[in-house]
Amino acid sequence: MPAISFDGALAVPGASIVDGLCRAAWLLQEQFIPPELSRQLAAECVQSMLSGKMKGAGVGSGHAPLLQPDIRGDHIAWLEGGRSSACDSYLKHMEALRQTLNRELFLGLEEYESHFALYAPGAFYRAHLDRFRDDDKRTVSVVLYLNDDWLPEHGGALRLYPDGGPSVDIAPEAGRMAMFLSGEMLHEVLPTARERLSIAGWFRRRG
C-alpha cells in the first residue's frame, strides 16, 4: 500500500492521547517535550555514542539478543533514573503519561523502559512488532524524536502499518512523539541519510 506522510498536530484530529490510541491503535503528538529538553537529550544521545557507551542493538528477547545488521542497524544506550537531569525530566513526563493511560484505559501499566537509539547514515530497522513472542509485557510503545531541521530527503521515517489501512510515514522531527500498541502495530524505520536520534520506550504490564 502507498504510504501517507504525516504532518500535523495529532494523528486523530481533535482526539486526546487516550482517545487516539483507542480509536486508531496509534497517534502522534507534536512538541511532547519542550524544545530545550529535546536539545539536551539529543546532545546526551550523541555523547553516549562518542564515549562508547552505545552498543549495537540486537534482535529478540533475553540477555544476549542477536546482532543482525541486515534487520536492525541502530546503536542503543538504556536510560535509567539518575543518569542526568535531562533524562530525569524526560522520565517524569513518561511517568505522568503512564498514570494517565492507567487512569483512562485501565491498562495496568506498571513500569516504563527506554533507550536512546542512534541510526548512522544508511541504517534502518525492518518491519517488526515490539512485543516478543515469549513475553507479552510490552503494551504501549512510545518513540520520541530528537532531530532538529529534519528534511524529507533525509529519509529515516517511522512507517506504521495500521490494520486495514494504508501505511503511514512519520518524519523523526524533534519533539514529536509517536505512540502505538506494542503487540498490534507492525512498523519499521526506513533507511536514514543522516544521523537519526530518538528515545524508544515501552510501557509494560505485569506478565
Query: What is the chain's mean pLDDT, rounded?
Result: 87
Instruction: Read off the CATH number of the domain in which 169 is found.
Output: 2.60.120.620
* pLDDT over 90 percentage in the chain: 68
DSSP structural state of residue 45: H
Mean pLDDT confidence for 82-109: 92
Residues 6+ apart with CB under 8 A from 110: 204, 205, 206
- Whether the per-residue pLDDT at 40 is higher than 60: the answer is yes
Q: Is residue 6 part of a domain?
A: no
* pLDDT over 70 percentage in the chain: 89
The span from the CA of 198 to the CA of 169, in Å, is 16
Instruction: Please give the tally of structural domains in the chain.
Output: 1
Q: Is residue 12 part of a domain?
A: no
Whose CA is closest to 195, among 151, 166, 156, 143? 156
Query: Structural domain of residue 149, as residue ranges?
Result: 20-57+70-205
